[in-house]
Structure 1
Amino acid sequence: MLGILAITGPIYIVIALGYLSVRAGLFARADMRVLGKFVLYVALPALLFDALANRPLREALHWDYLLVYALGSLATLIVMLLWFRRRAQADRTLAVVQTMGTMCPNSGFVGYPINLLVLGAVAGSILGMNMLVENLLLIPLLLALIDVAQGGGHWRDVLRGVARGLVRNPMVLGLVAGLLVAWTGLPLPGPVQRSVSLFAQASSALSLFVIGGSLAGLSIVGMRAQVAQIAVGKLIVHPLLTFGVLAALEVGGMAPLQPELRTGVLLATACPMFGIYPILAQRQGHDGLAAAALLGTTVASFFTISALLWLLKLA
């Protein structure tokens, strides 16, 4: 158990330090937005590029991993959307917003640091593949479902807007550039490679610190039941359904997933939801619930991820 805490402990200590630094007044919450922009626009794109450019394309992309991650997330979408609509009796828009919180993990700010400590260098490839699925499939699909739920009937316009956003998304640009370098096999000049690596190394600790600082001042008062349902969906249902998809595919004839990729996809899906969840929920007037869910799920994830690591150690 001490070995597991040695992995999860540093992650959540850095998150706690970010939270306490804002609560103590050392930083303002607005400062977290500035630091977050640095992570999103500089450090994470450099990390994605560095992780993908320095290995052959066949090692950077694993189609079996992409399939498992995509189908596990889509299974979570179906199950949780039905739950929120029929059992929790949420309206259509709220049900989609709640479902969004159960199927889009924080791959960059939380998932990558955890996988880096557990799996080492392969964590970069896992992050890149997660970003591909999330940005090209999951987020566009969820935004289209929200538009349909609101009766807009313009899901094609939503998808066109998402496509335009992808072209300007620095993480997507870093990912595509890394894949191109891996495909061509062209080596980078030494000074360029070292500069990219320096920015990439800044992403792990700083991203966790930003998550903690962003949680300061949030509250789940009056929303505990809804927050609990979203947290259970994200931290338990998502990894369980992903494991079910993985097992079904392997029984159906797919070659067994490499052990590090198997661990990586389960840890990725067990992470709390992405940090922009409240921003995406803001247009629908559910940003308060989304922020509360982000706080509750991030705190609870310390225990669920520690438990998952213990189970994986026994397997």
Structure 2
Amino acid sequence: MLQVFSITFPFFALVLCGYVAARRLLLPLEAVTGLNSFVLFFALPCMLFRFGANTPLAQLLDVGVLVTYLLCALLMVAFTVAVSLSRRIGWNDAAFGALVAAFPNSGFMGVPLLVALLGAQAAGPVIATMVIDMLVTSSLCIALSRLDGADAHGARKALKSALKGVLGNPLPWAIVLGALASALQLELPKPVAQTVGLLADAASPVALFTIGAVLARSQMLAARRGHAPIPLGDYLPVAAFKLFLHPLLVLLVGSSAIWLGLALDRFALTVLVLVAALPSASNVSLLAERFGADNGRIARIILVSTAAAFVSFSLAVSSLT
């Protein structure tokens, strides 16, 4: 267990550093957007391209991994929406609550952390889960969020907007280009490869620092706007769904799939379970704000899941490896 903590501690410590820097205004809140843009448009795409290019195409397109993770994501969304809908929580807030329950922080945190824990072979399954979450889970939840007083046309419009956002997201394109490079055995010219390598090496520390800064900013902005106190029942159960129900569901579905004869490797299943055990994706708060959901509630879920994951994720790693 101490060995696991020795690996996970630096990752969560960097998140804490970003949180403290933003809370103490050592990092101006206006600069958080710039940090986020650097990670999203430069560093993280280079890291994903490098991992994709160095991963066999069969691992990136593993049908067993894709089917198992997709089924679990759909079940998590359906369950969280069903238990969240109430007089106070409509479709918009329930849908984004479901998104933080089903969408782990696999890009900013999962890829570097799981590669550090399990080796480079873990990158393929993690990247496959990112494709599902960016293309399917996010689009579905955004479409569901439009059902508050909207007709089917409104939901279709929201889904179209979500798909447009996916096309403008550089991460899926980086994955596609990396997969093509892997399939065609292409190598970048040395100066270009070195540039990509420098940006890729910057992705992990800057992304983790940015997670903390984004969480602090969300909390501070909610306080400035006079957000009413959020009942514990509105966010603690969803954080628990993310950290405990999601990985347990993936373990049960994946084990059942293997028992039924689906071609799912045991190592890949371990990676999927640990991806599901990650805290909620920090960028969901930006989506919630954009679509008018209760961003204070979403930010609180992400903050609680990130803080608690230092222990819960480490315990999951210790029990599975």
Structures share fold, TM-score greater than 0.5:
yes
- Number of residues paired by the alignment? 311
Kindly state the Cα deviation for residue 16 of structure 1 after the two structures are TM-superposed. 1.3
| Equivalent residue number for residue 117 of structure 1 | 116
| Equivalent residue number for residue 106 of structure 1 | 105
1:51 aligns with 2:51: yes
| Equivalent residue number for residue 307 of structure 1 | 315
Query: In the superposition, relative to structure 1, how do residues 24 and 286 fare at CA in structure 2: closer, same or farther (>3 Å)?
Result: closer
The letter of the residue matching 1:263 is T
| Equivalent residue number for residue 238 of structure 1 | 246
Gaps of 5+ in 1: none
- Tell me the SS of whatever aligns to 2:292: coil
Query: In the superposition, relative to structure 1, how do residues 95 and 59 fare at CA in structure 2: closer, same or farther (>3 Å)?
Result: closer
Gaps of 5+ in 2: 223-228
- Tell me the SS of whatever aligns to 1:271: coil
Q: Is the 8 A contact 1:76 1:238 kept in 2?
A: yes
Query: In the superposition, relative to structure 1, how do residues 89 and 158 fare at CA in structure 2: closer, same or farther (>3 Å)?
Result: closer
| Equivalent residue number for residue 163 of structure 1 | 163
Q: Is the 8 A contact 2:55 2:123 kept in 1?
A: no
The letter of the residue matching 1:119 is L
Farther off after superposition, 228-237 or 114-123: 114-123
The letter of the residue matching 1:262 is L
| Equivalent residue number for residue 146 of structure 1 | 145
Kindly state the Cα deviation for residue 256 of structure 1 after the two structures are TM-superposed. 4.4
Farther off after superposition, 214-223 or 42-51: 214-223
Kindly state the Cα deviation for residue 76 of structure 1 after the two structures are TM-superposed. 1.2
| Equivalent residue number for residue 63 of structure 2 | 63
Alignment partner of 1:277 out of 275, 284, 291: 284
Q: Percent identity?
A: 30
Q: Is the 8 A contact 1:111 1:268 kept in 2?
A: yes
TM-score by length of 1: 0.91
Q: Is the 8 A contact 2:81 2:98 kept in 1?
A: yes
The letter of the residue matching 1:299 is A
- 1:5-24: per-residue Cα shift (whole Å, max 9, x none)? 11221111111111222233
The letter of the residue matching 2:61 is L
- Tell me the SS of whatever aligns to 2:152: coil
Query: In the superposition, relative to structure 1, how do residues 21 and 57 fare at CA in structure 2: closer, same or farther (>3 Å)?
Result: same
Query: In the superposition, relative to structure 1, how do residues 163 and 85 fare at CA in structure 2: closer, same or farther (>3 Å)?
Result: closer
Q: Is the 8 A contact 1:107 1:271 kept in 2?
A: yes
- 1:7-42: per-residue Cα shift (whole Å, max 9, x none)? 221111111111222233321222222111100001
1:14 aligns with 2:28: no
Q: Is the 8 A contact 1:48 1:127 kept in 2?
A: no
1:134 aligns with 2:133: yes
Q: Is the 8 A contact 1:271 1:305 kept in 2?
A: yes
Q: Is the 8 A contact 1:81 1:99 kept in 2?
A: yes
- 1:210-267: per-residue Cα shift (whole Å, max 9, x none)? 11122226279533221211101111111111111101211211134241x2221111
Q: Is the 8 A contact 1:223 1:292 kept in 2?
A: no
Q: Is the 8 A contact 2:59 2:125 kept in 1?
A: no
Query: In the superposition, relative to structure 1, how do residues 10 and 89 fare at CA in structure 2: closer, same or farther (>3 Å)?
Result: same
- Tell me the SS of whatever aligns to 1:222: coil
Kindly state the Cα deviation for residue 89 of structure 1 after the two structures are TM-superposed. 7.4
The letter of the residue matching 1:267 is L
- 1:163-208: per-residue Cα shift (whole Å, max 9, x none)? 3222221112211211222222223222222221211111111111
Query: In the superposition, relative to structure 1, how do residues 274 and 252 fare at CA in structure 2: closer, same or farther (>3 Å)?
Result: same
The letter of the residue matching 2:312 is T
- The whole-number CA distance in structure 2 between the counterparts of 1:104 and 1:178 is 22
- The whole-number CA distance in structure 2 between the counterparts of 1:161 and 1:93 is 15
The letter of the residue matching 1:271 is L
The letter of the residue matching 1:143 is I
Alignment partner of 2:257 out of 249, 252, 257: 249
1:225 aligns with 2:225: no
Kindly state the Cα deviation for residue 46 of structure 1 after the two structures are TM-superposed. 0.7
- Tell me the SS of whatever aligns to 2:25: coil
Q: Is the 8 A contact 2:277 2:313 kept in 1?
A: yes
Kindly state the Cα deviation for residue 149 of structure 1 after the two structures are TM-superposed. 3.9
- The whole-number CA distance in structure 1 between the counterparts of 2:92 and 2:165 is 22
